[in-house]
Amino acid sequence: MHKHLIAGRWSDGRRPLETATAAIDAACVAAEEAFWSFGSSTRAERARFLEAIADEIEARGAEITRVAVGETGLPEARLEGERGRTTGQLRLFARMIEAGDHLDIREDPALPDRQPAPRPRLSLVQRPIGPVAVFGASNFPLAFSVAGGDTASALAAGCPVVVKGHPAHPGTGVLVAEAIRAAIEARGFHPGVFSLVQDGTHEAGQALVTHPLIRAVGFTGSLAGGRALFDLCATRPEPVPFFGELGSVNPMFLLPHAVAARGAEIAAGWAGSLTLGVGQFCTKPGIAVVVRGSHADAFAAAAVAALSETDRQVMLTDAIAQGYRAGRDRVAGSAGVEAMLSSPCADRFAAPSLYRTTGKTWLATEELGEEVFGPLGLIVEVEDMAEMRRVAESLKGQLTCTLHVEPADTDTARMLLPVLERKAGRVLSNGFPTGVEVCDAMVHGGPYPASTNFGHTSVGTLAIRRWLRPVCYQNMPDTLLPPDLA
């Protein structure tokens, strides 16, 4: 199933790197050729195309689920839900571009009689940037991969896409790519609008992001891998934007009245969120910050009890399972960290682990703020609210931060909120961040290292704006303006 789809044609992907590099070059050249027509297509034409992709994915739904279960170990129900999210965001983007809200159209009429100098007519609209490279994610074989949010938003913007499929689920990638190919044929677009290259080497990824015809890159994955690609994008002869979602520990701040009133309830919800999908979500809330005392002790005991009821589960790949064990051992081996629940893990299986430390230790140990991808939680017990604020101020960039509050905590929450909104792209109250709604207001991004561009999101309709750039037209005749401005 390791196949390349290059401009509408399938080829064998189990070849030496030279062939993969040649496939990348052919895909990028085809994407550039396709851009001249696809980038000028109407919003209505692209909307029907996105809807056709969704239809073709649904038509292959049972087969996609069957293959993805075998490749990833994810349960059938999870994959069917993810497939619904994938097709749902395609249709959401179709509605968005038909409305035209993403274009940020601005008009300044001519002022020929203005003194001391007249003003010309000025018109602004967002225009597609060109071919986009997308890297499939390991933990979402559908919603963040071949036809996931990066691909869907780029196509919505009018940008052809070259996807580097993730090696953890090549067969799933082939089925979804075939759905896109069928939609391209049905809607009569240039076949270079979409290509899939399947090669798991770092060299292939480097070849893709440094190809001179690629104009931007979308990535979801590890901090190390994303940073390496980000640096390559920045050092190209013509640098291009790199929109990477790289990970987060997503801390929760449990304020005193909330812990006193419903600490056990919060602990149970945290356990469910922590272990959802074996903790393989970028929004897993890995850290709980609480003021030490009897209520904190009761919260910790309830978390241990809830996590103890979770059986071991299979992780996505052997490498991810090994990474989880290494991260768990790193946390467990840190001075000043106490194990509250530690379970044996072997092969691709993982079970929850829970640790506890002090605010003082957290502030002195930078590595405790690094993401452990898997079902691991860390309770940070602070001496008082002043230390809780210092913990918040010490955070690196996050995808999410959460406040658990009661009305009596309002003044304390007001003290923390300005800190948290500088640290995260999404700030929650009395919830858990593992549910990422695909909608207009969602932000899935944040300051580095949560993402490499804090001004954008990889989920929600604002994601389309990543693949557009503003162009101003001065005194342009209506007959020459883009259709969106004419």
Per-residue pLDDT at 181: 98
CA–CA distance, 1 with 157 (Å, rounded to integer): 30
Nearby residues of 168 by Cβ (< 8 Å), 6 or more positions away: 71, 72, 138, 141, 316, 317
What pLDDT digit, counting tens, does each position of 58-76 carry? Answer: 999 999 999 999 999 999 9
Per-residue pLDDT at 448: 96
Are the CB atoms for 116 and 138 separated by under 8 Å?
no
Per-residue pLDDT at 15: 58
Per-residue pLDDT at 123: 97
Are the CB atoms for 90 and 51 separated by under 8 Å?
yes
What pLDDT digit, counting tens, does each position of 374-424 carry? Answer: 999 999 999 999 999 999 999 999 999 999 999 999 999 999 999 999 999
The ranges of the chain with pLDDT < 50 are: none
What tokens were used for 130?
Answer: 């060109």
Give residue 67's identity as a one-letter amino acid code: V
Are the CB atoms for 284 and 434 separated by under 8 Å?
yes
What tokens were used for 160?
Answer: 């052809």
Report CA 345 to chain centroid distance, whole Å. 27
pTM: 0.94
Per-residue pLDDT at 235: 96
User: Which residues are tagged catalytic?
Assistant: 245, 282
Per-residue pLDDT at 486: 78
Q: Which long-range contacts (CB under 8 A, 24 or more apart) does 331-339 make?
A: 331/355, 331/368, 331/372, 331/376, 331/378, 334/361, 334/365, 334/367, 334/368, 335/361, 335/365, 336/360, 336/361, 336/364, 336/365, 337/361, 337/368, 337/378
CA distances from residue 478 to 5, 36, 282 in whole angstroms, order as listed:
40, 21, 46
